[in-house]
Amino acid sequence: MITNYQITIEYLGHNFVGWQKQKNGTSVQEVIEKALYKTLKFKVKIIGSGRTDSGVNAFQQSANFYIKKKITDNYSILQSLNFYLKKYNISILNIKKRSQKFHARFSAKKRVYEYVILNRLAKPVIDKNRSWHVKKKLDLKKMKKAIKYFFGTHDFTTFRSSSCSAKSPIRTIDFVNIKREKEKIIINFKSQSFLQKQVRSMVGCLKYVGENKWKPEKIKKIILSKKRSECAPPAPPSGLFLKKVFY
């Protein structure tokens, strides 16, 4: 009997080439699959909810896998997996049985990404590789005006990486939010799915607004332009977190 299991995963991405297995370096998927092999004593292929790029982090990445056995002791499995993962910046937070139809990627209804900007003069120490260090004081009021233009359904070609394989550039952003918490500016986007580098590109444009290089209204113009050349440089991956996947 084949059983389907879901795991939720926390990781820092700066030492990985990304989520997906690649020939040019170590991936999060590869490391977890090796830990599963050592724990279960047979090869397991895991399916992630999305392919986070190199350097991108996750509070709650989701993945599933099918095995020809039933796990009877979740605690022991989690303990074993995290033992084999202890030298990496990866932790398995939870494991649970799901229906055969459950698919970490295609069953996902919504995804939330969070971006963290450390807005201060002093370089980051604790938040190194966990934020984008921007020295110049950003105008949060203008950034709040600008972020509203991303809300709703749009053609996001302007914010799409040239290597993006998505069939359509049309996406619907269900929720946007930006706030300041002491020295940090925290930005959240919620959608069913995102284009490759879409969130980082949108944040890069918001930074331009915060620096007074652009007026907030320019965001609407560059969305309508559908030209990648109109986009500001994407924010670095270090500040981006896959926050939660909803099913």
Q: Which residues are catalytic?
A: 53
What is the distance between the alpha carbons of residues 214 and 148, in angstroms, rounded to a whole number?
A: 15
CA distance 163 to 161: 5
- Cα 61 to Cα 76, 88, 90, 110, 189: the distances in Å are 21, 16, 11, 12, 16
DSSP state, residue 86 = T
Burial of 7 (0-12, 13-18, 19+ CB in 10 A): buried
Contacts of 87 (CB under 8 A, 6+ apart): none
With tokens 């996406």, the residue in question is: 171
State whether residue 183 is helix, strand or coil: coil
Torsions phi, psi of 243, nearest 5?
-85, -45
Helix axes 218-225, 140-147, angle to 10 degrees: 40
